[in-house]
Every structure is written in C-alpha cells, then in structure tokens.
Amino acid sequence: MKFWGTFCAGLMFAVLTTTAVGQSISFPRGQGALKPGESTSLRKATIEPGPIVLPGPEVPESIRGLSGRWAGWMCVDRTCSAALEVVSLTAKGGRLRHVQVNPHLGDYDLFPIPIDVSLVNGNELEGRWRYISIKVRLRPDGNVDIIRHSGVLSWGVLSRIP
C-alpha cells in the first residue's frame, strides 16, 4: 500500500510540475488590491547583493523600474518570505535571482535561483528554472507583484530595498 501512495504522490508532483513548465502562469484576480508589507515568517529570505546592470535606453519604460532589489511576502496569510534581485534588463527580458522561504515546506529553497526571463504582456517578466515558474510586474504604487509556481502556487507583493 505504501508503494501506491508514493507512486500517486510522485505522479501528482510530475503533473503539477509539468503544468508549471508547460504553461504561462497568471496573476489572480484581486492581486492589485494586495498590500505590501512584511512576511509573518520567522526566517526572512535574503539575497547577498550582487552587481546590477543599469537598464539601457532600449529597455521599455514598462519594465525599467523593476531593476534592483526587492523583498516582501508571498503565500496565504503572508507566511512566506521572498526576495528578488533584477540583475539585468534588455528590450526582450532580462535576468533575475529569486529566493522564497516557505515555512510549510521546510528550508529547501534558501539559495537564490537564477532565472532568465522574457517580456510578456508588455509589462511582465516571466521565466522558468527547472520546475519553478515565476512572473513579476511593476505596480502603479512602485511595488512589485510576484507569482510563483513550483508545484504550489504562491503570490504576493515585494517592496524595493537598498
């Protein structure tokens, strides 16, 4: 019986991660109403600052403001802590680093993952690293909307940090 439970869990994980890699993720309704702030997680996501390439004139205004470092919350009830570093931007996308601390899933994701991203929908950056899909966009209030699919869908709001 234990075999079937493990098999079914593995099959479900494969389906979820295949969906994440094979399809674009979308922000939920009401994302714009979410407020920035601190995560309730006791462990905060951090990224050791690295070099950030300033956006050139070819970078669209709609994503130019994403350049830099961001931190905030993700998950239901702000239980996950997240950090983002938008390292470089081009006319068609860029590169970022991201880390999320999810107290419900353990400390598996404490190192920043590098993600090459593409410009989608005119103002969003979307990319994948292994089984993780991520999308970010600049909000009118100057904060960042973020959504991530890694077998579990989570979203939140990040604010600029020095």
Note the pTM of the prediction, 2 decimals: 0.83
131 has pLDDT over 70: yes
pLDDT in tens, 1-59: 443 333 333 333 333 433 344 578 999 999 999 999 999 998 899 999 999 999 999 99
Average confidence score pLDDT of the chain: 86
| Cα→Cα distances 106→28, 41, 69, 83, 154, Å | 25, 12, 24, 17, 15
Across residues 146-156, what is the average pLDDT?
Answer: 93
Q: What is the pLDDT, as a whole number, of residue 103?
A: 82
96 has pLDDT over 50: yes
For residue 160, count CB atoms less than 10 angstroms from its CB and return exposed for 0-12, middle for 13-18, buried for 19 or more: middle
Question: Beta-carbon neighbour count of residue 158 at 10 Å?
Answer: 23
Output DSSP code: residue 92. Answer: S
Distance CA 55, CA 67 (A): 7
Question: Beta-carbon neighbour count of residue 64 at 10 Å?
Answer: 14
Q: At 32, is the secondary structure helix, strand, or coil? A: helix
Ramachandran quadrant class, 51 (left: phi over 0; alpha: psi -120 to 50; beta: rest): beta
Please name every residue paired with 93 in a beta bridge, in sequence order, or none if there are none. Answer: 118
Across residues 117-123, what is the average pLDDT?
Answer: 97
Residue tagged 């995560």 (tokens): 39
Q: What is the pLDDT, as a whole number, of residue 9?
A: 35
Ramachandran quadrant class, 5 (left: phi over 0; alpha: psi -120 to 50; beta: rest): alpha
Q: What is the pLDDT, as a whole number, of residue 45?
A: 93
Please name every residue paired with 155 in a beta bridge, in sequence order, or none if there are none. Answer: 147
Complete domains list, the chain, with CATH: 2-161 (2.40.128)
